[in-house]
Amino acid sequence: MGAYRADDDYDYLFKVVLIGDSGVGKSNLLSRFTRNEFSLESKSTIGVEFATRSIRVDDKVVKAQIWDTAGQERYRAITSAYYRGAVGALLVYDVTRHVTFENVERWLKELRDHTDASIVIMLVGNKADLRHLRAVSTEDATAFAEKENTFFMETSALESMNVENAFTEVLTQIHRVVSRKALEANDDPATLPKGQTINVGSKDDVSAVKKSGCCST
């Protein structure tokens, strides 16, 4: 298998960003969701990491393109490029470190400054497996999420608890937002007739030439 993958067919491609303080477990959430992997000795992320996974939402294949970057500094040159085009975000804090929860507010501000208002945000309290070290109560986080109008879930990348749910919930909500937008657009008689499927990123044009290779052996 080479560097190219054209195997996946999907109906929607959603960009989802992972944000939160350094060391809250963003990269492990990503690897747990996309590769079902977890590493206790992960290093801090350099640059930007990407991973994808397709799931089925309401009979549609939704491909999540998840972006992950280091959380050390808040103001960086890459910030605006990182958020650009994101339709979903997982704002992660560490339930054992209260300061990471305190910083959620600032992350939220940065996120809202750089993204569309319709972005789906999920507040994620990670490391819920460390019950004896808990420093942020579920009630506090729930109250905050309600106040800020975000979704909320506590996860454990180590125990694979709620990770799947968190991502699926975000993608489902994004799908809902997108279909509502499409519906509103379709109400306008000037747009495309109903029933026509709009394929985002479809490979139909390419598949025609798939048969004949350049190295026709």
Q: By the criterion CB under 8 A, which residues form the site for another protein?
A: 1-6, 45-51, 65, 75-78, 81, 84, 201, 203, 205-206, 209-210, 212-217
130 by Cβ neighbours in 10 Å (0-12 / 13-18 / 19+) ranks as middle
Choice between 56 and 74, CB closer to another protein: 74
Choice between 65 and 142, CB closer to another protein: 65
Choice between 117 and 215, CB closer to another protein: 215
Choice between 36 and 138, CB closer to another protein: 36
Beta carbon of residue 88, minimum distance to another protein (angstroms, whole number): 16
Kindly report the length of the chain: 217
Of 116, 129, 59, 49, give the one whose Cα is nearest residue 88. Answer: 116
Beta carbon of residue 60, minimum distance to another protein (angstroms, whole number): 20
Beta carbon of residue 31, minimum distance to another protein (angstroms, whole number): 11
Beta carbon of residue 153, minimum distance to another protein (angstroms, whole number): 26
Choice between 52 and 160, CB closer to another protein: 52
Query: In the chain, which residue ranges form alpha helices assigned H by DSSP?
Result: 26-35, 79-83, 98-102, 104-114, 138-148, 163-187, 204-207
State the number of CA atoms in the 13 A half-sphere of 147 facing the CB. 9
Beta carbon of residue 217, minimum distance to another protein (angstroms, whole number): 6
Whole-number Å distance between alpha carbons of 11 and 202: 7
